[in-house]
Amino acid sequence: MSEWKELTLGDVITLQRGHDLPKSRMQDGNIPVAGSNGIIGWHNVATTKAPGITIGRSGNLGNAYLYKEDFWAHNTTLYVKDFKGNDEKFVYYLLKTMDFKQFNVGSAVPTLNRNHIHPIGILLPPLSEQKAIAEVLSSLDDKIDLLHRQNKTLEQMAETLFRQWFVEEAEDDWEEKPLSYIANFLNGLACQKYPPKNEIEKLPVLKIRELSNGISEASDWATSNVNTDYIVELGDVIFSWSASLMVKIWDGERCVLNQHLFKVTSEKYPKWFYLGWCKHHLDEFISISASHATTMGHIKRSDLDNAMVLIPSDKELNVMTEIMEPIIEKKITNYKQLSVLKKLRDTLLPKLMSGEISVKVDE
């Protein structure tokens, strides 16, 4: 720690505003266009060589992204023009620890200004220690990325099998029943009516935003003393039936189900079966929701009654379950590992970047 230097961010890197690229110039190239929310399109020309880093200048303010390939830095971003000899991955993790939103309090349209953030004070370790710190954090991120890719593959496998069984090779004698017959659709609570009673007996609230982006500091809280049916655990099937319609296996922490979300369960049919049918009808439900002349599109329970499913014989369903259940269980196991790895990374990040925890540097 004695060799760490007190510097400013501008001493370590030079940030540059991204480049204008009208949507009309988006092309079917293989160069990613890096915007405030990650990749927003593709082009056939790069403005920045890999590895490169952007941070959101507007919109998703201050979020840092690391690119391992050449990219076009869009004008909604700031990008690192010069690393000044510092380790690129270390710089990325350093930027991840910074709260850039502080510079836009009261602004109607928040926009990051590099002249404001270059003077931020930082502690900088020697290059060898930068690389060691970055290696620890990037190894965790690599494992996280691998699990995400595994789950994407598993999901594709499950969808392919489901389509094969129930669309391409469905039997004429299979029983036809409503979606509402094979599963229970429990609507969530108006959680504002169940505020925490203390700082111990409370849980985050699962709303549509959390279903998309996960639990965050901005999430609401509710008392944990609610009917256990409304408690959501990792691995539960959640169906957003209002606004942004989606169906997914919940991959986050224990929480309380809010209204506008269904917790989908069944006492008779396996999870893969009712999950697959919910996904199968999702495009149809989205179309129904969009047709409703309301400020927030939604579906009704009658739509669940009208969505038909095919039910094979018990013997056939058991054979399918033997194939499909390990795929679903592997996904859920991966979600659990992801949760542990993300918590470990997020705990280590500020401690490593501040020098509170040191790493061994190879001589």
Give the orientation angle of helix 271-280 with respect to helix 314-354, to 10 degrees.
80
Contact 256, 204 (CB under 8 A): yes
How many other CB atoms sit within 10 Å of the CB of residue 289? 20
Taking only the tens place, the pLDDT of each residue in 204-255 is 999 999 999 999 889 999 999 999 999 999 999 999 999 899 999 999 999 9
Taking only the tens place, the pLDDT of each residue in 72-106 is 999 889 999 999 999 999 999 999 998 877 766 55
Question: Order of strands across the sheet with 231-232?
Answer: 221-223, 202-206, 255-257, 231-232
How many other CB atoms sit within 10 Å of the CB of residue 236? 20
What secondary structure does DSSP assign to 285-299, as a single string?
HHHHHHHS-SSS-B-
Distance, CA of 42 to CA of 26 (rounded, Å): 6
Top-level CATH class of 175-311? Answer: alpha beta
Cα distances from 159 to residues 167, 275, 328, 338, in angstroms, run: 11, 10, 11, 22
Please determine whether the domains at 5-124 and 175-311 fall in the same fold group of CATH: yes
Select from 78, 85, 88 the least CA-distant residue to 11.
85
DSSP 363: -
Correct CATH for 5-124 of 3.40.50.150, 3.90.220.20, 3.10.450.50, 3.30.465.10 = 3.90.220.20
Q: Tens place of pLDDT for every residue, the chain, 363 residues?
A: 668 999 999 999 999 999 987 766 667 788 999 988 889 888 888 999 999 999 988 766 678 999 999 999 998 899 999 999 999 999 999 999 988 777 665 555 567 788 888 999 999 999 999 999 999 999 999 999 999 999 999 999 999 999 999 999 999 999 999 999 999 999 999 999 999 999 999 999 999 999 999 998 899 999 999 999 999 999 999 999 998 999 999 999 999 999 999 999 999 999 999 999 999 999 999 999 988 755 668 999 999 999 999 999 999 999 999 999 999 999 999 999 999 999 999 999 999 999 999 998 876
What's phi and psi for 233, nearest 5 deg?
Answer: -110, 155
Distance, CA of 174 to CA of 81 (rounded, Å): 62
Distance, CA of 155 to CA of 251 (rounded, Å): 14
Helix (H) or strand (E) holding 45: none
Domain boundaries, the chain: 5-124, 175-311
Contact 37, 60 (CB under 8 A): yes
